[in-house]
Amino acid sequence: MDNKKEFKPAHLKVAVVYDWVDKWGGAERVLLTLFEIFPTAVLFTSYYDSEKAHWAKNLKIIPSFMQKLPNFIRQNRILSIPFYPFAFESFDFQGYDLVVSVTSSFAKSVITRPETTHICYLLTPTRFLWQEKQRGQPSILKLLTRSYINYLKTWDRIASNRPDKYLAISKTVQKRVESYYKKDSDVVYPPFDIDYWDKIKKNTKHKVPSTKCYLVVSRLEPYKNVDVVIRAFNEMPDNNLIVIGSGSQERALKNLSGGNVKFIKDITDAELGSYYSSALALIMMQEEDFGYTSLEAQFFGCPVIAYRRGGASETVIDGQSGILIDQSNPAALKNSIDKFEDVQYTLKNSTLLEGPKNAEKFSKARFIKQFLSFML
């Protein structure tokens, strides 16, 4: 970045680029923190759904031509795939000093001018190309899309050369950047807003079921492995499970579930905090890119039972704030729950003590300091 303009955040013209603005989750918390750093920044995205993304209502947003596509195309991740490369390559960043792309998909592919610095905060390399499970896809669909997926992989590798600098959200993602893109990156963990969650914790009054339950907090998508948890609990009818979240697999997961599984969605953070406080443990059977929900749970004193691979190994202290397991299947989870029940009181007390301390390692202040250090 030797030829780039010297960085002074308050005087920069900044663009933030995100794949799509149509939900709320961990990545969106990162975006809001970036807008605290760069309050006059403009958000560029493929499309914006104001009804589903209330968090963005006060931001200046520039959507691509995809905003004008019919909803049934725009909101379908498969049907809309051919449009994304053109959408992000169509943006003009003339006059911008800094472009920050936050992406697990196409946003890193924006084209910037030589005098503009492009920092990519990578949530993971394009998920559906390199990681996404195709469980449940008809074989004919796999056959029809194979050549196009291969084309997109080639394009994605080319697009990966466009950022000047990669920041990965975890060591797990850092390894993927090296493996898929052959790029170096630095790890900057996502911001955990301790002050915000501390206020939630102190003012939590929401009533939750008196029956002790295990908890899943997740988008209901195939790669999240919620079905693994449900299959395990189908074999443990005396244990109760609450699944908080929504997604494309909601109906299928409900059909799979027994009477000891309850689904909840559209809750406030205050309500979520109450569930964390009362749950026996949070369960995560997916290979997480980072594992933001595990930090939330620990902050409220809720132990975490998580698949060892992925970001959870960086956020959960095995034996102190949770249990890490080596396999993601129903049998392994059942065995881990049996072990957990033998030590649950000790682990609960340990998590109440260590959870908030662990969360401080991922504070918003640390994120801002680290992020700015890469602009000097």
Residue 37: the pLDDT is 95
Both 185 and 212 in a single domain?
no
C-alpha dist (Å) from residue 223 to 22, 49, 150, 220, 286: 19, 24, 20, 9, 7
Classify residue 73: in a domain, yes or no: yes
Both 166 and 306 in a single domain?
no
Residue 124: the pLDDT is 95
Model-level pTM? 0.88
Tokens of 337: 């729950």
Classify residue 144: in a domain, yes or no: yes
Q: Is the pLDDT of residue 139 over 70?
A: no
| % the chain with pLDDT above 70 | 92
Both 17 and 86 in a single domain?
yes
Find the helix packing angle between 194-202 and 330-360, rounded to 10°.
100
Both 178 and 239 in a single domain?
no
Which region, left, alpha or beta, applies to residue 326 given φ > 0 means left and ψ of -120 to 50 means alpha?
alpha
Both 146 and 210 in a single domain?
no
Confidence of residue 9 (pLDDT cuts 50, 70, 90): low
The 3-state secondary structure of the chain reads CCCCCCCCHHHCCEEEEECCECCCCHHHHHHHHHHHHCCCCEEEECCECCCCCHHHCCCCEEECHHHHCCHHHHCCCCCCHHHHHHHHHCCCCCCCCEEEEEECCCHHHCCCCCCCEEEEEECCCCHHHHCCCCCCCCHHHHHHHHHHHHHHHHHHHHHCCCCCEEEECCHHHHHHHHHHHCCCCEECCCCECHHHHHHHHHCCCCCCCCCCEEEEECCCCHHHCHHHHHHHHHCCCCCEEEEECCCCCHHHHHHHCCCCEEEECCCCHHHHHHHHHHCCCEEECCCECCCHHHHHHHHCCCCEEEECCECHHHHCCECCCEEEECCCCHHHHHHHHHHHHHHHHHHHHHHHHHHHHHHHCCEHHHHHHHHHHCCC
Both 178 and 228 in a single domain?
no
Give me the residues paired with residue 288 across strands: 310
Both 202 and 137 in a single domain?
no
Q: Is the pLDDT of residue 376 over 70?
A: no
Residue 135: the pLDDT is 44
Confidence of residue 174 (pLDDT cuts 50, 70, 90): very high
Both 167 and 237 in a single domain?
no
Answer positive or negative: Cα dihedral of 306, 312, 313, 319: negative
The mean predicted confidence, pLDDT, of the chain is 91
Tokens of 350: 């340990």
Q: How many domains does the chain have?
A: 2
Confidence of residue 6 (pLDDT cuts 50, 70, 90): low
Residue 211: the pLDDT is 72
Residue 242's CATH number? 3.40.50.2000
Classify residue 1: in a domain, yes or no: no
Both 216 and 175 in a single domain?
no
Classify residue 2: in a domain, yes or no: no
Residue 136: the pLDDT is 46
Tokens of 51: 């009804």
Both 200 and 313 in a single domain?
yes
Q: How far apart are CA 240 and CA 224, in angstroms?
A: 20
Both 167 and 214 in a single domain?
no
Question: What amino acid occupies position 48?
Answer: Y
Both 318 and 246 in a single domain?
yes
Domain extent for 344: 194-360
Residue 46: the pLDDT is 97
- Range in 123-132, 149-158, 306-315 the model is least confident about: 123-132
Read off the pLDDT of residues 232-274 as tens digits, 9 standing for 90 and up: 999 999 999 999 999 989 999 999 999 999 999 989 999 999 9
User: What are residue 127's phi and psi, to 5 degrees?
Assistant: -60, -50
Confidence of residue 212 (pLDDT cuts 50, 70, 90): confident
Which region, left, alpha or beta, applies to residue 319 given φ > 0 means left and ψ of -120 to 50 means alpha?
left
